[in-house]
Chains A and B, each alone.
Chain A
């Protein structure tokens, strides 16, 4: 049994006061806070083990290499990847998706092919494909959504066809919190021979993920949303796919042999990790992964379900509120996107900030989705393991106060 009340003590920043109030951090879908173990891992590395990896014969280089590789092993275990070499370190989800679009996409797509994504996507899972189809003259098709923000699969067999070569979709919508039935879509994709990409930026930090069970071809996520530093992320790919793909960036570490005329590529994962990687970031991500595994991802998911249900029910009592996305927490992750009549999300955001509460306001890098749902922007509260129902009480009370403030009642 995990006592989530004590978890708050692991996060130094949560002691901070913002505008004379205790910080309530509800912007976890944007980035998470960092536990002391992660901050210490960075500090320890730079204080004791810092060196470049994979080439030095000296002690520090061997230590740094060991720590970097150990982090990779930990992450492979975390998502149940069958092979450590299937884990490529990138700067984050955005770079992972761009890597797939550039490397896999340009060498596998032709004019008659289509890419399928959904109307729920973050800009980072739209724009790389829009650019790719310009280069390859292939087509981009969307799985539409219902008004409750769930995928509408009624015409799925007309969207995913024998021409579909790639399906790239988010597991959890960062804009409205919908959890997609990715297993079902992956199965449909397999039936037409399409390659599958799962944007797991909003799911890997919050729930158990097993890539072997999902049987997806690629899966991407970011470290900073799962307690790790910024600038480190992961691309998981099936070994044989990664082996067949051309390199993304060219330079040091990704080569086997270089002459003045030509070069041959190193094996995976090195082929995709050109240049000195974010070594400290990778070690920080390893520490974060370790911390999350000790607590248990199902425990974290259960905790977030409880808070989300509580927050949803509390918010439904706010006069005129419109909550985007599905109600059922079986298909809603720990985030709630909403609008309050006559109060612009930015004004609500500034009001809540004056009470020490951090939320995100705007279009959440999912402009087409927010527009499709009939809004220009929304306010979004997103939860993590250190949040509590008590914080939700204060949040709801301050939303009610903001209505009085802006409407002068």
Chain B
């Protein structure tokens, strides 16, 4: 069971079972939709951004425990962050999953999102973990196109 627990950390499973900040938002400034054509996973992020600060962030979607857990953990981590910090977090997160971190880069800035690091040894599942990250980056840019993992 130990290897399985590396990828399915208890907190990720908990966020999968009880996703935080889950639901549509009516008044939002930023939005994006993400899609993983490989497995059919979909996620939508809503944000309320004022003065370059994420005041509110919510999501809806369907996906596996990794995808949903990551989305939920992202909302908790990014709430109240300024855009500069948010972009730093998404950059470090992507590098963590693809084993491309520079020696001076620290994953501690990611908070609970570091729990997703176990996914990096499962190449087939990295896209599950990265979809929310791409979609959040796109929402910050307010990109109208659906983002895909392909």
List chain A positions with a Cβ less than 8 A from chain B.
Answer: 19, 342, 344-347, 350-351, 354, 361-363, 367, 370, 376-377, 405-408
Residues on the B chain within 8 Å of A376, using CB: 39-42, 62
Q: Is the CB of B17 within 8 A of A408?
A: yes
Q: Judge if B43 is at the interface, Cβ distance under 8 Å.
A: no
Q: Is the CB of B125 within 8 A of A346?
A: yes
Whether A347 touches B4, Cβ cut-off 8 Å, given contacts A377-B40, A408-B17, is no
CB-nearest residue of chain B to A351: B4
A–B complex contacts, Cβ < 8 Å, 25 sampled: A342-B17, A344-B63, A344-B67, A345-B39, A346-B66, A347-B64, A347-B65, A350-B7, A350-B122, A350-B125, A351-B4, A354-B3, A354-B4, A362-B38, A362-B40, A363-B40, A367-B40, A370-B40, A376-B41, A377-B40, A405-B4, A405-B8, A406-B13, A406-B16, A406-B17
Within 8 A of A (CB), among B102-150: 122, 125, 128
Q: Is the CB of A344 within 8 A of B17?
A: no
Residues on the A chain within 8 Å of B16, using CB: 406
Residues on the A chain within 8 Å of B122, using CB: 350
Q: Is the CB of A347 within 8 A of B39?
A: no
Q: When each residue 1-39 of chain B gets 1 if its CB lies under 8 Å from chain A and 0 otherwise, what string results?
A: 101100110000110110000000000000000000011
Q: Pick the contact of A361 from B1, B39, B62, B65 — CB < 8 Å?
A: B39
Q: Is the CB of B13 within 8 A of A346?
A: no
CB-nearest residue of chain B to A20: B3
CB-nearest residue of chain A to B1: A354
Residues on the A chain within 8 Å of B64, using CB: 344-347
* Cα–Cα distance between A347 and B7 once the two chains are bound (Å): 10
Q: Is the CB of A408 within 8 A of B13?
A: yes
Residues on the B chain within 8 Å of A347, using CB: 8, 64-66
Q: Closest CB of chain B to A277's CB: distance in Å?
A: 32
Residues on the A chain within 8 Å of B65, using CB: 344, 347, 406
Residues on the A chain within 8 Å of B4, using CB: 350-351, 354, 405
Given contact pairs A344-B67, A347-B66, A354-B3, a sample of 5 additional A-B residue pairs in the complex whose CB atoms are under 8 Å apart: A346-B66, A347-B64, A362-B38, A363-B39, A376-B40
* Cα–Cα distance between A19 and B68 once the two chains are bound (Å): 26
* Cα–Cα distance between A408 and B15 once the two chains are bound (Å): 12
Residues on the A chain within 8 Å of B125, using CB: 346, 350
Q: Which of A350, A351, A407 has the most CB of B within 10 A?
A: A350
* Cα–Cα distance between A19 and B65 once the two chains are bound (Å): 21
Residues on the A chain within 8 Å of B17, using CB: 342, 406-408
Residues on the B chain within 8 Å of A351, using CB: 4
- Give the top 6 A-B pairs by smallest Cβ distance, nearest first: A344-B64, A376-B40, A346-B64, A354-B4, A347-B65, A377-B40
* Cα–Cα distance between A350 and B40 once the two chains are bound (Å): 17
* Cα–Cα distance between A408 and B9 once the two chains are bound (Å): 12
Q: Which of A347, A362, A370, A407 has the most CB of B within 10 A?
A: A347
* Cα–Cα distance between A342 and B64 once the two chains are bound (Å): 9
Residues on the B chain within 8 Å of A406, using CB: 8, 13, 16-17, 65
Residues on the B chain within 8 Å of A408, using CB: 13-14, 17
Q: Is the CB of B39 within 8 A of A362?
A: yes
CB-nearest residue of chain B to A377: B40
Residues on the A chain within 8 Å of B14, using CB: 408
Residues on the A chain within 8 Å of B62, using CB: 376
CB-nearest residue of chain A to B7: A350
Residues on the A chain within 8 Å of B128, using CB: 346
Q: Closest CB of chain A to B19's CB: distance in Å?
A: 12
* Cα–Cα distance between A408 and B4 once the two chains are bound (Å): 14
* Cα–Cα distance between A376 and B63 once the two chains are bound (Å): 9
Q: Which of A346, A363, A406 has the most CB of B within 10 A?
A: A346
Residues on the B chain within 8 Å of A361, using CB: 39
Residues on the B chain within 8 Å of A405, using CB: 4, 8
Residues on the B chain within 8 Å of A342, using CB: 17
Residues on the B chain within 8 Å of A377, using CB: 39-40
Q: Which of B7, B14, B64 has the most CB of A within 10 A?
A: B64
* Cα–Cα distance between A345 and B7 once the two chains are bound (Å): 15
* Cα–Cα distance between A405 and B125 once the two chains are bound (Å): 18
CB-nearest residue of chain B to A344: B64
Within 8 A of A (CB), among B39-64: 39-42, 62-64
* Cα–Cα distance between A404 and B3 once the two chains are bound (Å): 17
Q: Closest CB of chain A to B36's CB: distance in Å?
A: 10
Q: Closest CB of chain B to A60's CB: distance in Å?
A: 41
